[in-house]
Structure 1
Amino acid sequence: MASLTVLLRHSGKWNDEGNYIDFSIEGILIKEYASFNDLVGSISNQLGIDLSTNTIKIQYNVEGNRTPMEIHNDMGYRVYVELKKENREFGMYPLCITTMEKELISGDGLNQGDIVQIDEAVQMYDSDTDDTLAIELANSGEAIGVFELHKDLIISKTNQKEVMAGQVYKDKATLKEVMENYAIAQRFQFRVDRSNAVSYALICISEDCDWRFKASSINKSELFKVREFNDNHTCPLKDKVYEQRQASSSLISGIIRTKLTNHKRKYTPRDIIDDVKSDLGVDVSYMLAWRAKEKAMNFLRGEPADSYKKLPGYLYTMDKTYPGSHIRMEKSSKNEFMYVYISLYAFIRGFDHCRPIVVVDGSHLKSYYTGTFVSASTLDGAAYGVIDSENDAAWTWFFEQFKIAYGVRENMCIVSDRNESIIKSVSRVYPDLPHCACIWHLWNNVYKKFKKSHAKLSEIYFSMAKAYTQTEFDSLMEKVEKVDIRVKEYLELAGYEKWARLYAPVNRGWTMTSNIAESINAALVSARELPIYDFLEEVRKMFGRWNCSNRKEATQTYKTLGKKYQEMLELNETMCTQLPVNFYEYLLELVNNIDEYSFSKKVEYKCIQIQTVDHYTVVPSTEYLHIVNDGGRNYTVCLLERKCVCGRFQIDELPCPHAWAILKSKFLMPEEYCSSYYKPSTIVMTYDVPVYPLPDKNDWNIPEHVAEEVVLPPKWKRPPGRPKKKRDKNLSELLLPKNQHSCSICGQGGHNKRTCRNAPRNK
């Protein structure tokens, strides 16, 4: 560990010009990564200063400033070390040491008549031990010395069980909560006789009782000392056991705060009522519990309007922590919040290594001022933000910021629901970019518009959207026409290129829905109730966790493809070599229902015990061009262009079963014919830049012009009725078949293996 030589000046004094004169000199070595206490120990050892009876003040002069800089904590020590590293000359930045005598005082020595003034700014002054607080005392405004008060004598926690005269509390609020807890525990009630900034007096609720409590501040400081306490009750029993008035919403809020720190936990007023009854033995009303929860949440999160004031400093810190990010905020002419946009550098860097199919979506915030959370995603989040609502101006602004951050890539495509504002905004900002529809949202529109034969149309529609060949698509469209010709006309009007994979102007791969965006919204259901500052921070941390998890999975794999792509490749091989034609059709239907995002769920299938049938015949035409006969039908496969007439080779960008047959006959590795997007090396590059943690808020270095920036909450009027926690589901969602669980022993439904009384099924 590197050391620095430091010149000490001591036994001198400061003159009016800010110069340290009449001094003696010494020298010490300090370590670069030491602490302030280490510095104090080194100086006291070198100069022979007894810290039990003295304190030292460490100062040094800075060029251009007459006022000397004082080192009084670890941060000040680190600043000094950085200065010395740049100017290593022995005589540069000498430390000037001032020694002061101190006197030890105890809590009993702080009486009401003491001429003691405790300066809040130096109340937590670091001393040479961890057991004492150094307090600067003054008489008539002039400092008379530094005294030490043992920390054990100052009560700072509200769970204090014993109360007695002479105790010192860190402030009045702590004392009040201690007395409220004490009254509940001792089963009596009190009322306030006198309460102001310097005194706090209580008496029993019964007028004839002798119970008294008096406390006052120590010479108008924040410290409160118990002056008198008569804990003997002479009141009737009924006055003591009557309804407990000390169980206030403020007291209960302090008790339940720790249970509300996790926003995902559901902690209802009914739970609060039960916990208060169990812990305190007191019955409280539902309204009191509700108010206690509101106060606890306001204490933890602050007022909703104050959350907007934190945004300038928060966004500035993010911009400095993640250089290269694109972070913007828009305000109205009256400084009211409108929009915020965030693209971290980790997202921007990773976008170059993933398929440029961008899924956008919005979801409503449920905090006091509401708003709409919007996101743009590829493999994971690429950009996110908050807008006032899903309108043309807001979405246009969001896409403009996205274009500035990411530009336009070849084969790029936008996928969204059929929101009119999104459609208009994409056409304005990206006039030449394909804008495709989420096939699930389009189907919901069909479902609501044409209420006929939904079960038949649903299966046909989704197969048609994922069809690989023109023949398959036309055949399915004929079936749609037979069921309801109006649906065919509606789909034609929507544009085949919007929803059919076969007609898409770019390769959408398996990204046929907006599932990734919906998954982000689902992961943030509880977070959307937080104030905007806490919500944005929760989103940042969530994407940081995902980034770390995906990078870890990609770096630790031993396979040549990512997990879900490896499973797909193995499934194609199985279809190629081990299955007969009729079962091949079943697996092809299974593959057609695989979605880009949901494929991470392992595809489960069981190979029927049959005789292996190699039903593929490979006939080479050229080195790269082959004919594969599959059950009497010929498929032309070109390895050079990675194409097959079945359509799957070029769309999935994985060897289809026909290509697999050729690769096996030529003993070629299939991974060479897979998309680079599927390989772990590319996935690692996508998540190469981690989302580093933000520094603690107390360590933020915010410029004055940023700290003074005014951000007011948006104008908002509370809608009538009870706030909705869940969105209204449409008819198609309500009629969806629910997952039916079956017993793993007998295979029947209605129970599980723990309660099964049936015979095991034959395996």
Structure 2
Amino acid sequence: MEILAMKNNFDYTVIKSTRKWWYIRCKDALCNWTVRAEGIDGSTYFMINQCDGRHSCAPSKKRKFGKTASARTIGTLIQHRFDDANDGPKPNDIIQFMRMEHSCEITYWHAWEAHEFAIAAAKVRGFYNAMRRVIVVDETFLKNKYKGTLLVVTAVDGNSNLYPIAFGVVDSENGDSWGWFFGQLKVVIADCQDLAFVSDRNASISKAIGTVYPRSAHGICIHHLLTNVVSFFKTKGLTALVEKASRAYRYTEFQERITEIFDMSPELGRYLREADVRKWACSLFPRSRYDIRTTNPAESINSVLRIPREYPVIPLLDSIRELLTRWFYERRLLSSKHVDPLTAKVERKIDRRIVKAKGFQVYKVDNFRSVVKGDIYDCHVDLERRTCTCGKYDIGKIPCRHAIPAIYSRGMEV
């Protein structure tokens, strides 16, 4: 609507704006031009159910040109010009673009805000196009004069590099601040069933994710869980068993470990059940979590920002922007020279698995399924569904040492 008003030289006033209703009218109170729209259930879209599209106001009564689009709208207009967060038009270029393409004058500050929005949009496109759908959540205290808390969410790319998505500065960590933060995140990353979050056992985070992202899955950091085990349960060997139960790719292996835990410490067994095993056990997690079992990615960012956290808010955010600009520039430089089909770390992982797979025997069942023998136990591989009964192919999404010989037996590349 802002673009329509800008192109057709009129302005409007928002009378009502809720999730259910949207009502606007011409800035001139005597004009007949109005639009009413109703929100579509289960969607962020609105359907116009009433519109008087003819302006009855006199052009001679106008005191300025039409409505100037918001920085967000202008950012949307130019975001296709950003290949990544380090490329694309600068504020002066945006001013010229708006002048030539839309006959609209905007200030440098307005153009700068649009530039920042477009950069954020480029990051979001990167998340949807190339990132694993796992968002790691963490927080850290600020150490400047006014204190406060820095909230962080990050993803991990295919080369296990950190991919920061959003930062938020709040007065303290509580339900309201997390609710606000995830509400802002949802503007750019929608709730969906293939999305997963990983955080510590903070009740405020869990509640906010459940409210704002009800369709996503929420996992807890195994390191935080193990810290509690060490603190409250002193029996020797328990921590290692919990870690093995968490890491187990097969449900049967998890059952063996959790049974051992209950035999050694029924109290710990009950504690782990209450923590919800689906949130910390890889084999039971309801979504694709890959091998992201901790909040280490977000904590690593907090560690890098150890000194900037002492700065006032604006210099802190400038430091974050400079850090991300450097990271993405260096990665783009490396990726431009990379010629292999998969990332460097995944190629090394596959190379190690190829060595382990030597000597395995493949017995084909059909065009996609095979039984692979030669390991500790026989495995059933389904190349169409990308699964293996060892569990690694299912969870990590990278061919396991059983899938690789099954792939080779069909004359295909990994």
Q: What is the TM-score with the length of structure 1 in the denominator?
A: 0.38
Q: Confirm whether residue 406 of structure 1 aligns to residue 185 of structure 2.
A: no
User: Which of 512, 530, 542 is the aligned partner of 2:323?
Assistant: 542
Give the drift of 1:634.
Answer: 2.5
Aligned-partner SS, 1:377:
strand
Q: In the comparison of the two structures, how many residue pairs are matched?
A: 305
* Structure ranking higher on relative contact order (CA contacts 8 Å, 6+ apart): 2
CA-atom RMSD, angstroms?
2.2
User: How much has 1:318 moved relative to structure 2?
Assistant: 4.5
Q: CA deviation at 1:633?
A: 3.5
Q: Shift in Å at residue 402 of structure 1?
A: 0.5
Shift of 1:358: 0.7
Q: Give a deviation string over 1:69-89, Cα, whole Å, max 9, x none.
A: xxxxxxxxx9xxx9xx99xxx
Equivalent position to 2:231, from 448, 451, 457: 448
The answer on 1:509 being equivalent to 2:290 is yes
Cα gap change, 1:314 to 1:544, in 2 (>3 Å): farther
1:484 to 265, 275, 279: 265
Q: Deviations over 1:384-428 (max 9, x none)?
A: 120001011111000100011221244101111111211121122
Of 374, 383, 400, the match for 1:630: 374
Q: Does 1:371 align with 2:148?
A: yes
- In the alignment, what sits opposite 2:312? 531
Note the 1:685-704 alignment, pairs <5 A: none
How much does 1:321 deviate? 2.1
Structure 2 residue 154 is matched with structure 1 residue 361: no
Contact 2:192/2:216 (8 A) holds in 1: no
Deviation of residue 650 (structure 1)? Answer: 1.6
How far the C-alpha of 1:450 sits from its partner, in A, is 1.8
Once the two structures are superposed, residues 735-759 of structure 1 have per-residue CA deviations (whole angstroms, 9 ceiling, x without a partner) of xxxxxxxxxxxxxxxxxxxxxxxxx
> Equivalent residue for 1:175?
none
Indicate yes or no: 2:103 matched with 1:320.
no
Quick one: structure 1 residues 368 and 314, their matched pair in 2 at CA, closer, same or farther if it must change by over 3 Å? farther
Q: 1:654 aligns with which of 385, 398, 406?
A: 398
1: distance between equivalents of 2:280 and 2:108?
Answer: 40
Match for residue 212 of structure 2? 429
Counterpart-to-counterpart distance in 2, 1:394 and 1:657: 45
Structure 1 residue 372, shift from structure 2 partner: 0.5
1:298 equivalent in structure 2? none
Question: 2:232, 2:394 → 1: CA distance?
Answer: 35
Contact kept, 8 Å, 2:121 with 2:188, in 1: the verdict is no
For residue 291 of structure 2, what is the amino acid of its counterpart? W
Residue in structure 2 matched with residue 438 of structure 1 by the alignment: 221
Structure 1 residues 316, 377: CA separation in 2 closer, same or farther (over 3 Å shift)? farther
Specify which of 378, 390, 406 is matched with residue 173 of structure 2: 390
Deviation at 1:541, TM superposition (A): 1.0
CA contact (8 A) 2:199 2:221 kept: yes
Bigger Rg, which one = 1
**Separation (CA, whole Å) in 1 of partners of 2:352 and 2:407:** 15
CA spacing shift, 1:323–1:637, aligned 2, 3 Å: same
- Where do residues 150-189 of structure 1 align in structure 2 (5 Å cutoff)? none
Asked whether the 8 Å contact 1:348–1:382 carries over to 2, the reply is yes
Structure 2 stretches of 5 or more lacking a match?
1-91, 101-106, 157-162
The Cα of 1:508 is off from its aligned counterpart by: 0.3
> One-letter code of the match for 1:493?
E
Check whether the contact 2:247–2:281 (CA below 8 A) recurs between aligned residues.
yes
In 2 relative to 1, CA 632–486 (structure 1 residues): closer, same or farther, beyond 3 Å?
A: closer
Q: Work out the CA distance in 1 between the residues paired with 2:376 and 2:196.
A: 38
Q: Is there any run of 5+ residues in structure 1 with no aligned partner, and where?
A: 1-77, 87-312, 326-343, 578-613, 671-763
Q: 1:499 to 1:632 in 2, by over 3 A?
A: closer
- SS of corresponding position for 1:322: helix
**Pairwise CA distance, 1:314:** 11
Q: CA deviation at 1:431?
A: 2.3
Shift of residue 540, structure 1, vs aligned partner: 1.0
Partner of 2:127: 351
Contact 1:373–1:385 under 8 Å retained in 2: yes
Does the C-alpha gap of structure 1 residues 363 and 632 become closer, same or farther in structure 2, counting only changes over 3 Å?
A: closer
1:566-645 matched pairs, under 5 angstroms: 566-577=347-358, 614=359, 616-631=360-375, 633-645=377-389
Cα separation, 1, equivalents of 2:308 and 2:257:
43
Instruction: Return the letter of the residue paired with 1:655.
Output: P
Report how far residue 315 of structure 1 moved: 8.4
Counterpart among 521, 534, 538 of residue 302 in structure 2: 521
1:416 equivalent among 184, 199, 204: 199
Specify whether residues 631 and 515 from structure 1 end up closer, same or farther in structure 2 by C-alpha distance, changes over 3 A only: closer
Question: For 1:651 and 1:314, how far apart are their aligned partners in 2?
Answer: 48
Matches of 1:484 and 1:378, distance apart in 2: 36
CA contact (8 A) 2:209 2:218 kept: yes
Deviation at 1:370, TM superposition (A): 0.7
Q: 1:490 aligns to what SS in structure 2?
A: helix
3-state SS in 2 of match to 1:472: helix
Distance (Å, rounded) in 2 between the aligned partners of 1:391 and 1:499: 23
Q: For residues 482 and 539 of structure 1, do their structure 2 counterparts lie closer, same or farther at Cα, with a shift above 3 Å needed?
A: same
- Confirm or deny: 8 A CA contact 1:364 1:372 kept in the other structure: yes
What amino acid is the match of 2:386?
A: R
What is the rounded CA distance, in whole Å, between the counterparts of 1:382 and 1:395 in structure 2? 15
Runs of 4+ residues over 4 Å off in structure 1: 313-318
Instruction: Compute the displacement of 1:667 (Å).
Output: 2.4
Question: For 2:383 and 2:247, how far apart are their aligned partners in 1?
Answer: 23
Structure 2 matches for 1:8-47, cutoff 5 A? none
Identify, as 1 or 2, the structure richer in helix.
Answer: 2
| SS state at 1:385 partner | strand
Give me the TM-score of the superposition, normalised by structure 2.
0.70
